[in-house]
Amino acid sequence: MQQITRRGLIGLGLGAAAAAGLSGCSGPEGGPHGEANEHQPAGKARSQSPEGKPLGDGSTAYTGKQPHQPPAPVPLEPGEIPPQFVIFSWDGAGEIGNGLFPRFLKLAREHDAKMTFFLSGLYLLPESKKRLYRPPNNPVGASDIGYLKDENIKRTLKYVRQAWLDGHEIGTHFNGHFCAGSGSVANWSSAHWRDEIRQAKSFVQQWRTNTGWTDLPPLPFDYDKELVGGRTPCLLGQDRLLPVARELGWRYDASSPGGRQRWPVKKQGVWDLPLQAMPFPGHSFEVLSMDYNILANQSQNSTKAPPANYPRWREQATGAYLAGFNRAYETNRAPFFVGNHFEQWNGGIYMDAVEEALKKIADKKDVRLVSFRQFVDWLDVQKPEVLARLQGLDVGQALA
């Protein structure tokens, strides 16, 4: 993830982080690893599956229209004030037993919020089958985020299933999260991205074959239709990804390496929805709207800084999210994008910060807590002249 430091927008935060063992989409303390457990014995999975049409090997199923969706969007009238959209998104979306995935599903239900979960395909592939993954420009089976234990793959399946049924979006964070060296996604060609996406989809669509588990229900969606956007590792490689995204019919990409709080535009025919620079309390510079980038500016990539700092840093992180929200809400109403990981860095203060920010944002008038997919649904029905007016507003510029 790109970080915004005292020198402004520079480099990639995860370049330095890789050396520190911080993957950016790992579980707590740098990445969930572990020996694969024995496969569960075969059972009668189909009888336990939700009603629907099994797809492929039964790992996924078509179960009809996704529940808990907002009303169909309508175009704004000229001069009408737009809603304040806020999109919370999660990179990796693996549950490693720390309870963070269900914690934020519960929070979302309590506040009628919808989110986007960018699932890493490898989080559904057992480590015992890692040689099925052939990452572009990297050794067979390699991954900078490691593989989940079998018990945690099962947890991830459970909560991804629940997320979709609750109305959230399942996007992709691709697979191996390569951010440094010759194998970095920054060096991948469009052909490499096409192959990576094919594999990411296959791990979701064939988890039953790859695990041998037949006593778990399928994921209740058709991933060929569900998958309409993603975020690349470390916000790298977007330019060569976009032609593939357009070819696949994706509607947006959230991989731009740093953006500003302005209304989005399309890039190469795809909505470009970048993380954004937001005010950073106590500093004259701004920070990117992601937990990792706040951490990088507070503890220089350390995930276990002295605990005496935690209360102050938690308050600062919460303040940053709220400052970013308020700047948009009170001026140009640009959508506010927040990126996170299910992590426990620095005592879990960033998870506490995003929860507190969401609670304070949710009850504001005209706020809509939506997924990226739901947001582009709204964008796509707006009149071009109305969107052009909004896109012409600068950061902090009030609506006319």
- Domain CATH for 147: 3.20.20.370
Rounded Cα distance between 281 and 164, Å, is 35
Q: Supply the pLDDT for residue 48.
A: 38
pLDDT > 70 in the chain, percent: 87
Q: Supply the pLDDT for residue 185.
A: 98
| Rama region for 334: left / alpha / beta (φ>0; ψ in -120 to 50; rest) | beta
Q: Which helix (H) or strand (E) holds 101?
A: helix 100-110
Q: For the chain, what is the domain count? A: 1
Q: Supply the pLDDT for residue 49.
A: 43
Q: Supply the pLDDT for residue 43.
A: 34
400: in domain: no
Q: Supply the pLDDT for residue 257.
A: 83
Contact 3, 288 (CB under 8 A): yes
398: in domain: no
Helix (H, G, I), strand (E, B) or coil at 140: coil
204: in domain: yes
Helix (H, G, I), strand (E, B) or coil at 372: helix
399: in domain: no
β 336-340/84-92 pair status: parallel
396: in domain: no
Rounded Cα distance between 29 and 10, Å, is 25
Length of the chain as a residue count = 400
66: in domain: yes
Q: Which residues of the chain have pLDDT under 50?
A: 1-49
178: in domain: yes
Q: Supply the pLDDT for residue 20.
A: 30
397: in domain: no
Instruction: Report in angstroms the alpha-carbon separations of 71 from 220, 348, 368, 370.
Output: 21, 35, 12, 12
Rounded Cα distance between 342 and 107, Å, is 14
Domain encompassing residue 220: 3-36+46-391
Rounded Cα distance between 301 and 304, Å, is 9
